């Protein structure tokens, strides 16, 4: 960088020189310009030649590549040889010189003087160098938070080059914009983005970027601008309003219509809900959890659950989600009433005489009295029952209230015919219950019916070619008792010698080796009746088939563990794990029973080993609730086992 002024000697006679002075006279901040002053002088050094006269002289001066002075004519230069002499050839100022946009500027200052040839001509001299001008202050800068939030103030700090500058801040988020003026001398501005301006720019977002432009003015003149990227957020509190939930019953039976109650197994729940979305977005979807699981993509919720199967308080949790992914939740509950199908709880039939509205009980009477009671759920909500009684009573009615004692009389039914009398009830939900009881003939020790033909012990026989043992009459044989069977009892009383089997029902027989042929066990566990001291072990299978399938795969119901029944003893239950139990059979020898379990792939075989004498025993699985249970009776010999299949519903302990 040059130091002004600059001097340059002439080319022929270095006693002559020129000097160029350049300086910044002033600068204009609003216009970003400067004015440069200049002066060109010519001089001689001390003791130089006195001068020359009327030589053609050419003078040029350029500032910033612009000619500011030009001269070409004859002129003289008179100087004293004894003293130095200077003469101003030209001087002046430039027009305004425009700076760069950042305010910086350098200019080239040039001057040249040429004197025509002749005696004493100095020749020529030229000067060219740069002049750095003042950097003029330009656009201000800003600092700001990493993000702004709608409705919350954020401070923007403005750093101005000149205190007199004023500013404008312009914000653009999506298609929304605003411009704010900031007065001169104000160094910061607190900006609060308004929801009315910007919320609509966030239909599905919670955050969005935009621009902030800072424009700098000197008076009304734009000095410059700076543009920044900013982030604007939706407040975390902007979410849907809590769902307004409405629950209403949807019934699967017309009788419940209009009652407004919620009943297990008969009621669905219509869940309706509304919510208000926060500014600028919409409700998008709904989720229901708790008592039901449902979803719906809609601005409002309207869904119906499946049938609620249990009673008690059922809570429906509703969550709403807006298009931004923000959620809100609420819950509503309804109490579901318990419901059970109707049932005939008691039913008895007795014989007697019914005359003039007066009942006289008699075992030999030809009239009957049926006493019964039934119950039903929802009685406080108007649930009552229709009812009927089968022949020979043949009665019916409507509007029966739960747990009401009922008596029905029928005259002239006779004494020689047995009946199964069935009471049927049906509630308003069309569920039906029945209960039956057997009405025997009058009690007669022995009857021979030659018409059927049939024999009856204790009553009049009802089935042709049959020896019938009436209820409450028993047959005693070999020290044991066989009595009338009710409720599909397999054996009410049974005492058999080895190899003898007496059961109700019939079935196919199978003979196979034991225990290797597992087909003998494929439908269920064994039941064994025995009293032989020579047989020390029987096998029973707690599984079905050769693949170890559980019993209840084929026969529904609840299966208990092994049950062992001994004469004059209580029920003893073992779970098939290894163990030992000692049973003191009343009036007989003590019996020690050891239960062991051996796993024969693929079927687990349970062995029961005992010792003692005179021990009628039943060993097998007890099915507490099932129908058509297949049971095998096993009669072991020394080399094989005969297996006979029978069916029954419930296995009872033998009575002795």
pLDDT at 476: 61
Quote the DSSP letter at residue 196. H
Q: What is the pLDDT of residue 440?
A: 87
Structure tokens at 591: 């019996």
Could you give the C-alpha distances from 507 to 10, 37, 327, in angstroms and in order? 147, 135, 67
Omega cis (within 30) before 267? no
Domains 141-233 and 244-336 share a fold: yes
305 Cβ neighbours under 8 A, 6+ residues apart: 268, 269, 270, 271, 288, 291, 292, 294, 316
Query: What span, in angstroms and rounded, lies between the C-alpha atoms of 53 and 121?
Result: 9
Q: Domain spans of the chain?
A: 6-132, 141-233, 244-336, 344-439, 509-648
Q: Mean pLDDT per segment of 10 residues, for the chain of length 656 residues?
A: 87 92 93 95 79 88 96 84 80 96 93 91 94 92 96 96 92 96 94 95 96 94 93 96 97 96 97 97 97 97 96 98 97 97 95 94 94 96 96 95 95 91 96 92 75 77 78 59 37 24 29 34 33 31 30 36 31 33 33 34 32 34 34 39 37 27
Superfamily of domain 141-233: Immunoglobulins (2.60.40.10)
- What was the pLDDT predicted at 81? 57
Q: What is the pLDDT of residue 567?
A: 27
How far is the CA of 436 from the CAs of 5, 110, 158, 402, 424, in angstroms?
136, 134, 98, 19, 9
Q: Which fold has domain 344-439?
A: Immunoglobulin-like (2.60.40)
E-strand ranges in 291-428 read: 294-296, 301-304, 312-322, 327-336, 343-355, 358-361, 367-375, 385-389, 395-400, 406-410, 419-427
Distance in angstroms (rounded) separating the CA atoms of residues 568 and 585: 6
Q: What is the pLDDT of residue 50?
A: 64
Q: Residue 460: its pLDDT value, please?
A: 78
CATH topology of domain 6-132: Immunoglobulin-like (2.60.40)
CATH for 244-336, among 3.80.30.20, 2.60.40.10, 3.40.50.1820, 1.10.645.10? Answer: 2.60.40.10
For the chain, the first-to-last Cα distance in angstroms comes to 135
């Amino acid at each position: 960088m040059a130091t002004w002024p600059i001097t340059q000697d002439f080319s022929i006679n270095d006693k002559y020189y020129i000097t160029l002075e350049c300086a910044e006279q002033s600068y204009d901040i609003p216009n970003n310009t400067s004015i440069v002053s200049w002066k060109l002088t010519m001089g001689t050094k001390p003791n130089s030649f006195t001068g020359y006269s009327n030589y053609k002289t050419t003078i040029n001066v350029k500032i910033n590549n612009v000619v500011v002075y030009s001269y070409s004519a004859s002129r003289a230069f008179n100087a004293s040889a004894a003293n130095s002499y200077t003469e101003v050839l030209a001087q002046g100022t430039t027009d305004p010189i425009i700076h760069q946009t950042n305010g910086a500027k350098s200019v080239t200052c040039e001057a040249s003087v040429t004197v025509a040839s002749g005696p004493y001509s100095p020749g020529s001299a030229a000067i060219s160098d740069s002049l750095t001008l003042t950097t003029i202050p330009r656009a201000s800068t800003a600092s700001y938070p990493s993000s702004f939030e709608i409705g919350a103030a954020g401070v923007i700090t403005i750093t101005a080059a000149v205190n007199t500058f004023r500013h404008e801040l312009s914000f653009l988020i999506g298609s929304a914009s605003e411009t704010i003026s900031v007065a001169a001398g104000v160094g910061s501005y607190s900006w609060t983005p308004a929801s009315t301006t910007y919320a609509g720019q966030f239909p599905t977002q919670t955050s969005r970027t935009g621009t902030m432009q800072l424009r700098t003015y000197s008076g009304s003149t734009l000095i410059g601008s700076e543009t920044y990227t900013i982030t604007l957020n939706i407040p975390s509190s902007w979410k849907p309003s809590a769902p307004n939930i409405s629950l209403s019953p949807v019934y699967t039976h017309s009788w419940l219509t209009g009652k407004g109650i919620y009943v297990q197994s008969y009621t669905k729940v219509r869940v309706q809900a509304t919510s208000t979305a926060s500014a600028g977005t919409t409700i998008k979807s709904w989720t229901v959890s708790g008592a039901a699981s449902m979803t719906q993509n809609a601005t409002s919720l309207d869904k119906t659950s499946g049938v609620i199967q249990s009673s008690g308080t059922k809570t429906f949790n509703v969550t709403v989600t807006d298009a931004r992914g923000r959620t809100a939740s609420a819950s509503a509950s309804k109490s579901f009433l318990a419901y059970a199908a109707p049932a005939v709880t008691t039913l008895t039939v007795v014989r007697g005489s019914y005359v003039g509205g007066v009942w006289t009980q008699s075992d030999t009477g030809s009239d009957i009295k049926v006493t019964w009671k039934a119950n039903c759920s929802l009685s406080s909500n108007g649930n009552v029952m229709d009812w009927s009684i089968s022949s020979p009573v043949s009665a019916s009615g409507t509007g029966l209230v739960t747990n009401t004692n009922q008596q029905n009389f029928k005259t002239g039914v006779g004494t020689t015919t047995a009946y199964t009398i069935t009471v049927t009830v049906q509630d308003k939900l069309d569920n039906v219950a029945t209960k039956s009881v057997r009405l025997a003939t009058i009690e007669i020790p022995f009857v021979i019916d030659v018409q059927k033909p049939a024999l009856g012990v204790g009553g009049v026989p009802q089935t042709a070619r049959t020896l019938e043992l009436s209820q409450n009459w028993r047959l005693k044989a070999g020290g044991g008792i066989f009595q009338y069977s009710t409720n599909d009892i397999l054996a009410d009383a049974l005492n058999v010698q080895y190899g003898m089997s007496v059961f109700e029902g019939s079935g196919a027989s199978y003979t196979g080796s034991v225990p290797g042929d597992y087909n003998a066990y494929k439908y269920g566990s064994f039941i064994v009746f025995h009293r032989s001291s020579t047989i020390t072990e029987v096998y029973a299978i707690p599984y079905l088939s050769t693949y170890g399938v559980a019993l209840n795969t084929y026969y529904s119901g609840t299966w208990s563990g092994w049950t062992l029944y001994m004469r004059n003893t209580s029920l003893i239950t073992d779970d098939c794990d290894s163990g030992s139990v000692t049973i003191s059979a009343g009036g007989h020898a003590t019996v020690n029973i050891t239960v062991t379990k051996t796993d024969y792939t693929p079927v687990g075989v349970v062995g029961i080993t005992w010792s003692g004498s005179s021990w009628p025993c039943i060993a097998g699985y007890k099915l507490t609730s099932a129908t058509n249970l297949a049971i095998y009776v096993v009669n072991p010999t020394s080399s094989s086992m005969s297996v006979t299949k029978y069916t029954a519903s419930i296995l009872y302990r033998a009575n002795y």
